[in-house]
């Protein structure tokens, strides 16, 4: 199946039973698959009038007790940002799959881009943390969607699947495990009576149990700065307490959130750092470099937000150079430079979008980096 279809199947496998969305290339196949499959499992599919309403419907469905998601691309992702912020401040678990295309604006609707990476982190306003994962194959579209739902349920926040057009539209074999082999996390439920329940009273780990509307628990859900009851608190003290908890429930759990994979890192002299479809070209380039005697390695970012600082910091202290191919003119490379901290040179291989990097171009950058280091 293609990556978009695998994303839908991953959502269904982990218990998603609500989808609201609006058609947009190259993410429409996610919605199409869900429209056919959700009725088979007792779920609800609804096409909304736009992406703003789609995101609002997803938040409402989640508070109604359903695992919920939507999918979109560039312009639609921009429209969703205000309600993604609402999902963050109300601590609403849900998943947004963004199958990126080349922009800005309408751009190249049917062709690849990776231009939404910084928007994923900073697209809404105010101080907050977000979790975003980046699949590089249809199999990972299935696996990472399962993972994204589990992260959203565990940490009570929207989680982004930052895919791209090529991963969304490529067809490859996807293995779907037996149902009992798929890890499924569900939101923490209240252990107190409805009279004692406070929707934003956190446990010791900073995560609050979540009741569902209609179960007899008192609900007050607002985008305003609020106290543990959900009631607005219009002062700096309430703001500090709320925002610090929202941020820290991610920052203090990086070891449970951040994932990455490595190839030939033990003796690498130059490391290619990549995410999404760029991983595929990078893997080929690294293999060809090794075959010609060049000590190249690959750091594959499975989590892009929070950024995998630990492996980058460790590698920067011992390699001669890092290279990052991106289908944009420089976004995640800014994080790579920040974390590397000048310990080694960092080179961006930019691409304006519409196609992917060739392995030959990445191989050339590997060779050039090693020559310059010598």
Domain CATH code at residue 357: 3.40.50.920
The yes-or-no verdict on residue 374 having pLDDT over 90 is no
Q: What is the pLDDT of residues 48-60, one digit of tens each?
A: 999 999 999 999 9
- The verdict on 265 and 175 lying in the same domain is no
User: What is the CATH classification number for the domain harbouring 65?
Assistant: 3.40.50.970
3-state secondary structure 280-291: HHHHHHHHHHHH
- The verdict on 17 and 160 lying in the same domain is yes
Q: How far apart are CA 78 and CA 73, in angstroms?
A: 9
Instruction: Give the pLDDT of residue 195.
Output: 93
Structure token pair of residue 70: 């939507």
Nearest Cα neighbor of 206 from 172, 253, 274, 254 is: 253
Instruction: Give the pLDDT of residue 44.
Output: 98
Binning pLDDT at 50, 70 and 90, where does residue 78 land? very high
Would strands 108-112 and 94-102 be described as parallel, antiparallel, or unpaired? antiparallel
The yes-or-no verdict on residue 284 having pLDDT over 90 is yes
With contact defined as beta carbons under 8 Å apart, do 289 and 363 qualify? yes
- The verdict on 13 and 147 lying in the same domain is yes
The residue from 136, 164, 181 where one domain ends is: 181
Tell me the residue range of the domain where 292 lies: 259-373
The position carrying tokens 């090529």 is: 166
Q: What is the pLDDT of residues 9-27, one digit of tens each?
A: 999 999 999 999 999 999 9
- The verdict on 288 and 170 lying in the same domain is no
With contact defined as beta carbons under 8 Å apart, do 312 and 273 qualify? yes
Q: How far apart are CA 274 and CA 289, in angstroms?
A: 16
- The verdict on 59 and 158 lying in the same domain is yes
Number of domains present in the structure of the chain: 2
Question: Which DSSP helix (H) or strand (E) runs through 370?
Answer: helix 359-373
Instruction: Give the pLDDT of residue 373.
Output: 85
Instruction: Give the pLDDT of residue 361.
Output: 98
Binning pLDDT at 50, 70 and 90, where does residue 140 land? very high
Binning pLDDT at 50, 70 and 90, where does residue 122 land? very high
Query: Has residue 235 been placed in a domain?
Result: no
Query: Has residue 54 been placed in a domain?
Result: yes
CB crowding 48-70: b at 16 or more within 10 Å, else e = beebbbbbbbbbbbbbebbbbbb
The residue from 181, 208, 231 where one domain ends is: 181
Q: How far apart are CA 69 and CA 47, in angstroms?
A: 12
Structure token pair of residue 182: 């798929």
- The verdict on 167 and 284 lying in the same domain is no
Average pLDDT score over residue span 350-366: 98
Structure token pair of residue 301: 């970012």
Query: Has residue 283 been placed in a domain?
Result: yes
- The verdict on 149 and 28 lying in the same domain is yes
């Amino acid at each position: 199946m293609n990556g978009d279809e695998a994303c839908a199947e991953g959502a269904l496998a982990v218990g998603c039973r609500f989808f609201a969305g609006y058609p947009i290339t190259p993410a429409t196949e996610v919605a199409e698959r869900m429209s056919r499959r959700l009725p088979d499992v007792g779920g609800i599919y609804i096409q909304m009038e736009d992406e703003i309403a789609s995101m609002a419907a997803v938040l409402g469905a989640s508070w109604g007790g359903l695992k919920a998601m939507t999918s979109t691309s560039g312009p639609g992702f921009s429209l969703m940002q205000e309600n993604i912020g609402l999902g963050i401040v109300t601590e609403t678990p849900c998943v947004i799959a963004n199958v990126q295309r080349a922009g800005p604006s309408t751009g190249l609707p049917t062709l690849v881009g990776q231009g939404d990476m910084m928007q994923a982190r900073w697209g809404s306003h105010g101080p907050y943390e977000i979790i975003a994962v980046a699949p590089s194959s249809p199999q990972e579209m299935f696996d990472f969607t399962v993972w994204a739902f589990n992260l959203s349920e565990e940490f009570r926040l929207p989680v982004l699947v930052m895919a791209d057009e090529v991963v969304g539209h490529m067809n490859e074999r996807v293995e779907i495990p037996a149902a009992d082999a798929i890890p499924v996390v569900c939101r923490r439920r209240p252990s107190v009576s409805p009279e004692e329940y406070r929707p934003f009273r956190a446990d010791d780990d900073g995560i609050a149990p979540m009741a569902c509307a209609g179960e007899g628990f008192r609900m007050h859900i607002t985008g305003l700065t609020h106290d543990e009851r959900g009631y607005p608190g219009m002062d700096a003290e309430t703001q500090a307490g709320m925002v610090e908890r929202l941020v820290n429930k991610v920052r203090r759990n990086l070891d449970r959130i951040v994932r990455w994979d490595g190839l030939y890192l033990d003796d690498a002299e130059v490391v290619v750092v990549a995410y999404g479809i760029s991983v595929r070209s990078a893997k080929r380039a690294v293999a060809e470099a090794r075959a010609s005697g060049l000590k190249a390695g690959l750091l594959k970012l499975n989590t892009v937000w929070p950024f995998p600082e630990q492996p980058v910091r460790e590698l920067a202290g011992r390699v001669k150079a890092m290279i990052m191919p991106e289908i944009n003119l420089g976004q995640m490379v800014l994080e790579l430079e920040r974390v590397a901290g000048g310990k080694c040179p960092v080179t961006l291989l930019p691409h304006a979008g519409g196609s992917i990097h060739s392995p030959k171009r990445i191989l050339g950058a590997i060779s050039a980096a090693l020559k310059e280091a010598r």
